[in-house]
A and B are shown apart, each in its own frame.
Chain A
């Protein structure tokens, strides 16, 4: 039975607290965490309580238990808003959520929460030493959300549901006009509309090809030097020749 086990069972708050700090300094966050968890409720109102709470939150953070550390850092800066460590606590709370945010392919509820926290932090401490990092984190997360909506729109294109792809790309372009993926979305919308028209019933084809031309023009206006230019031009040329074919077979329609 180790010293640590004895400490865990002891009823001496001060001894436990002292040991917890030692473990913390040594980097043994697991043991520090165990001890702090026990003594914290009994230390409320004492001078050391502030430090204990911050350390407790940080032991979770260091052990990559980000859900817990986010919660504990939040409790810290809500309890001690005037503390010198409040700023760091708030930043670490946001960073915990940032670290906890999953890949773009999974549910992004925690990403949104993380972004809210970062914003809250930046409003509260605009001149913080952590501001640059916080801004960077925010950009990473927002790019992740962009990628998610772009990929889910592109999924319909991949699945060859071209009509759905056009609707999804249009939604994407409306909601994320300045996204790094807008250019590709804009090009893919032209291509999806062209393919959709191609597999449509003859009655609807002309109308739909014309819409593809509209999308092409929107694309070329916005991204005149696009890396998709060549491919887009090819689609445009194909669209024109299709429209010409329609005109020939049904001259009354034009």
Chain B
């Protein structure tokens, strides 16, 4: 407080006439532990300063002293005035300072949680206000957890180590959890109590059979639920519904009751809907888009949704905004309310078409601007379109560098110029993956894996050491290194690199990869080994026709198998070199909205994999020296958002393997092995398609007449899946979803046995966890419905563990 007149003072300060003085001296009284010099420094005043009295300078000094949080009270006096010299006296009251605080009566994890909530700072003074705030914060914390009767006792005791300091002992008895035992409605005629109770999302009655329902009472959630109740009434046409009164009362020490008294009012219906101000579209057309008819129950929420934003279909605003009419505005006005009927006039203002002027990105602390901007479909100079905006959002989410749930789209219209600037806000998430694992690889013993995948790499910054934080990143390139070895018997090395925009002009993705595998037969008396080496070069691009969701990619790959006494293909070919040169073309259309948990969109791809048709040109007939085949694959996957976080995924997969000439037989390469988790297990062999079929043993499903050929794999397969997925945790660090599936598939040893309707079926449930650092992990339980001939020992129910995103 700024007390400038004290009794001892002869010359008074006139508050009406502030005067300039020079400070002649500053003294501090009432201090025992604090140092006057440092207090002067903190106050910001100095002997010799010119100040106005009364004025802001002294107020500011008092504020500064207060801000230190070490004082109990500050008074300022003028001791004397000599000419234009003023002598100030700061009379301070010291309070003990907090040196430590301790909790009692609660466990460690709650202590840690409370430490975050309460605002006790060591070194600050302990006042009654501080104690009250602390108590209130603790009470609030426990109230949120439904301990409404928590008792808090704070004891101060002097700290023996530091002068003028206290230790606080905070004693907490949280008591019993208080739950809601009853919710009573009064005045409801149109809906039953049960139906209304269901509208309260977080306020629920305690019932012994409701194991998963929380019946805590939380004030803020309760207020929210009351609003939800009214929203429900409004959505049913009761637009006058109000809550007349509501009360929360104690039933017993640990049980609460809630009573809500309602006045429902009348139910209203739409009568005439008229349009005004629309020049671009006819009234009839707009009414059709709106989809509300005369006689429908009046629902303001639904009306707003159909006018402004309808996530599941088209709305009236989208009609205009997708065509650049950003300044479009629609105002539904209730022109007449007649009994239970409402006439609505839609006042439309179409405005001019907005042109996009500037497009900016913020929040990319790692990824370079051009990597983000090149994905964005709202371009300067174009007409504004909401559809493009949402498409851009999906493209950014699909990059995988950003948290898809927090991508922000901010159009900033500039009505004077008829333009709009668009700012995209993103937040980076870690997406480099490091894997380090060890496992048991069957007969060859322990296998260790070291893998590193950098999804946002930059080769350009490789030579700039200042850009290494901790690795050169931000250009959207993908680098992957993987080493798998068990020492002598099995070694595998692979490396791949992808540049998604080769040349920086177009979405031409270039991928180069090489790999080397060494495999020796363990415990064999002679040297048996298989080396598989290879490389692939692929170029993929986005097409503009038929639409820009289409992608086309070409891959040229070469695999060489070097065998020494290794009966990979039976005894006919044990020594020598086998070359597999193939060319793959894939045409795909991908329109899914999010790579980790797609909600809508589809992914369809047709792939063709060809080797040169050697047999048509020459009579060479060592089937192994140059491998020959042609292979066709079709995969289709559709996603449909059923409700909220529930998504239905339906998939169909087909694959066919052929030879060019009828004179030759189809070799052992590139066959299909169906069953299990589709990972290929320990004996993974390049040139085989492992396809999962849950509920069955790995690679067990085949329709082959010859029982000795059960392990060779099929030359045609088909598989159908329906899967319901439910998103449990959208957290980008660990996205978790549960699923329930029904699937069916078969693989066929020869074309004369091919029958798309003969399928092995299964069903089950599972869970998928996507962690940015590890990729996708899955755990499924499948139950098979059919028996596989020749496999009587197969278990009916099976657990499957999966790593990585599975396409098929």
A42 touches B99 (CB 8 A): yes
| Min CB–CB distance B109 → chain A (angstroms) | 24
A49 touches B161 (CB 8 A): no
B41 touches A83 (CB 8 A): yes
| Min CB–CB distance A136 → chain B (angstroms) | 18
The proximity string for A residues 157-173 relative to B, scoring 1 for CB distances below 8 Å and 0 otherwise, is 01111011011100100
A225 to B1, CA, bound (A): 69
A residues less than 8 Å from B360 (CB atoms): 152
Q: Which of B42, B64, B380, B474 has the most CB of A within 10 A?
A: B380
B35 touches A46 (CB 8 A): yes
A46 to B506, CA, bound (A): 65
A171 to B379, CA, bound (A): 13
A45 to B382, CA, bound (A): 62
The proximity string for B residues 357-376 relative to A, scoring 1 for CB distances below 8 Å and 0 otherwise, is 11011111111111001100
Closest to B364 in A: A107
* B445 touches A (CB below 8 Å): no
A79 touches B505 (CB 8 A): no
A residues less than 8 Å from B123 (CB atoms): 40-44
Known A-B contacts A158-B504, A164-B381, A167-B381; the reply to A45 vs B70 at CB < 8 A is: yes
* A5 touches B (CB below 8 Å): no
A residues less than 8 Å from B361 (CB atoms): 107
* A230 touches B (CB below 8 Å): no
* B576 touches A (CB below 8 Å): no
A98 to B632, CA, bound (A): 57
* B37 touches A (CB below 8 Å): yes
* A199 touches B (CB below 8 Å): no
B364 touches A106 (CB 8 A): yes
A45 touches B381 (CB 8 A): no
A49 to B45, CA, bound (A): 17
Closest to B507 in A: A159
A159 touches B374 (CB 8 A): yes
A107 touches B363 (CB 8 A): yes
| Min CB–CB distance B301 → chain A (angstroms) | 37
Known A-B contacts A82-B44, A163-B381, A164-B380; the reply to A47 vs B365 at CB < 8 A is: no
* A217 touches B (CB below 8 Å): no
Known A-B contacts A82-B44, A171-B358; the reply to A106 vs B369 at CB < 8 A is: yes
A41 touches B364 (CB 8 A): no
* B34 touches A (CB below 8 Å): yes
Q: Which of A102-150 contact B (CB under 8 A)?
A: 102-109, 148
The proximity string for A residues 24-58 relative to B, scoring 1 for CB distances below 8 Å and 0 otherwise, is 00000000000000001111111111100000000
A residues less than 8 Å from B162 (CB atoms): 11, 13, 42
* B68 touches A (CB below 8 Å): yes
B residues less than 8 Å from A45 (CB atoms): 33-35, 38-39, 42, 68, 70
Known A-B contacts A45-B39, A155-B374, A159-B374; the reply to A107 vs B362 at CB < 8 A is: yes
Known A-B contacts A42-B99, A42-B162, A171-B357; the reply to A106 vs B368 at CB < 8 A is: yes
* A80 touches B (CB below 8 Å): yes
B366 touches A42 (CB 8 A): no
From A41, A102, A107, A151, give the contact of B370 (CB < 8 A).
A151
| Min CB–CB distance B327 → chain A (angstroms) | 19
The proximity string for B residues 16-56 relative to A, scoring 1 for CB distances below 8 Å and 0 otherwise, is 00000000000000000111011101101110000000000
A64 to B35, CA, bound (A): 33
From A46, A82, A83, A105, give the contact of B369 (CB < 8 A).
A105
A72 to B582, CA, bound (A): 62
Q: Which of B336-378 contact A (CB under 8 A)?
A: 355-358, 360-370, 373-374
Q: Which of B267-291 contact A (CB under 8 A)?
A: none
A104 to B369, CA, bound (A): 8
* A81 touches B (CB below 8 Å): yes
B residues less than 8 Å from A161 (CB atoms): 379
| Min CB–CB distance A56 → chain B (angstroms) | 14
A158 touches B369 (CB 8 A): no
| Min CB–CB distance B276 → chain A (angstroms) | 35
| Min CB–CB distance A13 → chain B (angstroms) | 7
A152 to B39, CA, bound (A): 52
* B436 touches A (CB below 8 Å): no
A residues less than 8 Å from B374 (CB atoms): 155, 159
A177 to B64, CA, bound (A): 45
From A43, A103, A168, give the contact of B380 (CB < 8 A).
A168
A residues less than 8 Å from B379 (CB atoms): 156, 161, 163-164
A152 to B335, CA, bound (A): 50
**Interface of B toward A, CB cutoff 8 Å:** 33-35, 37-39, 41-42, 44-46, 64, 67-70, 97, 99, 121-124, 161-162, 355-358, 360-370, 373-374, 379-382, 467, 474, 504-506
| Shortest Cβ-Cβ A-B pairs, 5 listed | A41-B123, A167-B380, A105-B368, A167-B381, A164-B379
A to B CB contacts below 8 Å, 30 in the list: A41-B124, A42-B99, A42-B122, A42-B123, A44-B123, A45-B39, A46-B34, A46-B38, A48-B38, A49-B38, A79-B42, A79-B64, A80-B41, A82-B45, A82-B46, A103-B467, A106-B364, A106-B368, A107-B364, A107-B365, A155-B369, A155-B374, A159-B504, A159-B506, A163-B381, A163-B382, A164-B380, A167-B356, A167-B381, A168-B358
Excluding A41-B121, A107-B363, A109-B362, 8 further A-B contacts by CB distance (< 8 Å) are: A42-B122, A44-B69, A45-B68, A79-B64, A152-B360, A152-B369, A158-B505, A167-B381
